[in-house]
Copies of this chain bind each other. A is one copy, B any other.
């Protein structure tokens, strides 16, 4: 069993919930991609093999995977919620193109360090960074 599956199963167990077939299918779809994703894209991926997993179940599974610490709600783009992996991925910031919707990721320990220090002066305990900017990507600037 893959590690993320074990994590998810254990998390569900602590909540008295079950790792069902649809939940496993959704988890696999989520970890079959290594980029940002949204429910619609996930639905398309899943439907190629499993005609009977509904959108509702995907929507219902997202918060569970977030609570399990596997993914996080990354940003909102073109009126859709987007998610990204936490498990197995480094923290990073996002540049979102307003025009084509492309998302560029960049790492910066420096930024997180500064933010963390600022938070400390405020007595604020950071659980999750949310750093980025919107604008125009190189392609769309022409």
Question: Footprint of B on A, CB under 8 Å?
Answer: 73, 75-76, 93, 95, 97-98, 104, 106, 108, 110-111, 114-115, 118-119, 122-138, 141
- A/B interface sample: 27 pairs, CB < 8 A: A73-B134, A75-B130, A93-B118, A95-B122, A95-B124, A106-B119, A106-B122, A108-B114, A108-B118, A111-B111, A114-B114, A115-B131, A115-B132, A119-B133, A122-B138, A124-B133, A124-B135, A125-B136, A125-B141, A126-B135, A127-B133, A127-B134, A128-B133, A128-B134, A129-B132, A130-B134, A131-B133
B residues within 8 A CB of A137?
Answer: 122-124
With contacts A93-B118, A110-B114, A122-B138 taken as known, whether A130 is within 8 angstroms of B131 at the C-beta atoms is yes
* B104 and A124 form a contact (CB under 8 A): yes
Cβ of A106: which chain B residues have Cβ within 8 Å of it? 118-119, 122
Q: Nearest chain-B residue to A134 (Cβ)?
A: B128
Q: How far is the CB of A101 from chain B (nearest CB, A)?
A: 13
Cα-based distance from A108 to B121 in the complex (angstroms): 13
**Known A-B contacts A95-B119, A115-B93; A124 and B110 likewise in contact (beta carbons under 8 Å):** no
Per assembly, the copies of the chain total 2
Do B132 and A127 have beta carbons less than 8 Å apart? no
Q: Establish whether residues B114 and A138, one from each chain, have CB atoms under 8 Å apart when the complex forms.
A: no
B133-A133 in contact (CB<8A): no
